[in-house]
Amino acid sequence: MGWTWGGLVIGLAMQLVYTAVMSRTVDPRAFGLVAAALVGLRFVTYLGNFGIGSAVVQRPELDDDDVSTALALSVAIGIVVAITALVASPVLAAIVREPEAAAVMRWLALGLFLSAITTVPEALLRRTLRFKAMTIVQLIGFAIGYLMVGIPLAVRGWGVWSLVAASIVQSAVLLTGYAATARLPHRFAVSRPAARALLGFGGTVTATGFLEFLTSSLDTLAVGRWIGSAGLGQYSRGTYLVALPVERATTATTRVLMPALSAVQRQRARFAAAFLHGASLTAVVIVVPVALAASAAPALVPILLGPGWRPAALVLPIVGIAYGIGLLTHLAAVAAEAQGMVRLKLGIQVITLAALVAAIGITVGTGPSLTRFALCWLGAEMVRFLLFWVLVVPRLGVHRIDLARRYASAILLALGAAAPVVATVRLGGAEGIIALGLSSLGGLALAAAVGASPAARVLRQDLAAVRSRLRSA
């Protein structure tokens, strides 16, 4: 537990330094090019792991045949999808109307191959709850790739290629570190029964993940095509500022919850209790930071990114709420996967994607803008959340009223945290770092007071249970 959350704080500090320096050194168009290329990268990434990582974590029993087969499959699939990325790069460039995006994606294909091979060692570390090792490797990877390579190259004028180089170097460090600590089998062979079992589970997971990718990326492609790379850079940085604290906290949480839920997947009462405990933790680490970032956007963006990023401040509250809702839904998705409900997840993603496509089509026809594309994403995430709420939560053995109590308590914390910031930044017009810092501290103090009140008793009980479960992580 200590290493997981300690790594979160250290990683967040390093990311803040990197973000502040790079946003003042590299122009919005460069960030837009990388954001567009990363859409293509994520496209092949879902195909590259083929759900093998999830299958390794989820399997009740795992032997050396399973692991060696998973390794062989990940290498083979990684080669195929890296080549696919090279071939598909001109298509991406045509979609976003940026020829240079093709070259960026071709180089990022190398990082894709490295990431595909990393899938199995990372899954083994997650399965065995070796979060200390994972945290150390991740911190070293970010420090070497982004701080020691990315920033110096950006200062030397490499522009978009400093972002590309940082990503590739980090992928190489992660592969090296995970492989060295995961205790991989010494032989490299394929067992047909193991391959069928891994691909049988992973295939459906991949199909669902691919639709999740489309749902989370169509707005990015739409911005790149109809607004341009500079606008996409603004859009991606606005999203990144929300993701900066929230994604790391959520990843630290779900990284532990996935194997924990899988371990009790056949014990309905214990599974439901574990889910509710996890729901409280994820709600707090998602809703409170999103509320703070959204309310502080007019002051936060100039402080972290510098001048010239005002459009990012305008879209940040919308994409922040969309991002938060998506991550809240992610816990139910993790639980559904642990219970083997991958086909139901697939159906939900089909409906969500259809809603997003319709919303983007209407936006393009009536007048595209950054905020309107952000609203498309928000609407799609709301549809997905409601579908999981209606179709998945009851099948997990969880009473919706119990889950609603936890979400309501987390929202009360968020309102307390945001109130002083709204008064200072939104209503008072203050934009300095001192005013933002003091109002944020006041908000956190008010949120802590709410958390100690009877209204948040259920959160305190759940967090105590989670703390006990994660103490060894």
The C-alpha R_g of the chain, in whole angstroms, comes to: 22
> Which conformational region is residue 309 in: left (phi greater than 0), alpha (psi within -120 to 50 degrees), or beta?
alpha
pLDDT digits (tens, 9 = 90+) for 328-371: 998 888 788 777 787 898 899 999 999 999 999 999 999 999 99
Report whether pLDDT(444) > 90: yes
Tell me the helices (H) and strands (E) count for the chain, helix number first.
17, 0
Average pLDDT estimate for 163-179: 95
CB atoms within 10 A of CB 113: 22
DSSP string, 10-47: HHHHHHHHHHHHHHHHS-HHHHHHHHHHHHHHHHHHHH
The whole-number pLDDT of residue 473 equals 47
CA torsion through residues 76, 81, 84, 90, sign: negative
pLDDT digits (tens, 9 = 90+) for 227-244: 999 999 999 999 999 887
Mean pLDDT of the chain: 87
Report whether pLDDT(285) > 80: yes
**328-357 burial string, b = 16+ CB within 10 Å, else e?**
bbbbbbbbbbbbebbebbbebbeebbebbb
Residue ranges of the domains in the chain? 1-190, 201-473
pLDDT digits (tens, 9 = 90+) for 95-143: 888 899 999 999 998 988 898 889 899 989 988 878 788 889 999 999 9
Query: How many angstroms separate the CA atoms of 333 and 57, rounded?
Result: 15
The whole-number pLDDT of residue 203 equals 57
Report whether pLDDT(47) > 60: no
Confidence of residue 262 (pLDDT cuts 50, 70, 90): low
Query: 3-state SS string over 219-257?
Result: HHHHHHHHCCHHHHHHHHHHHHHHHHHHHHHHHHHHHHH
The whole-number pLDDT of residue 263 equals 64
Helices (H), 143-191: 151-155, 160-181
Instruction: Kindly state the DSSP code that residue 422 receives in the 8-state scheme.
Output: I
The whole-number pLDDT of residue 424 equals 96
CB atoms within 10 A of CB 183: 12
Instruction: Kindly state the DSSP code that residue 455 receives in the 8-state scheme.
Output: G
Query: How many angstroms separate the CA atoms of 303 and 322, rounded?
Result: 23
Q: Which helix (H) or strand (E) element contains residue 408?
A: helix 400-421
Query: How many angstroms separate the CA atoms of 234 and 306, rounded?
Result: 12
Residues counted in the chain: 473
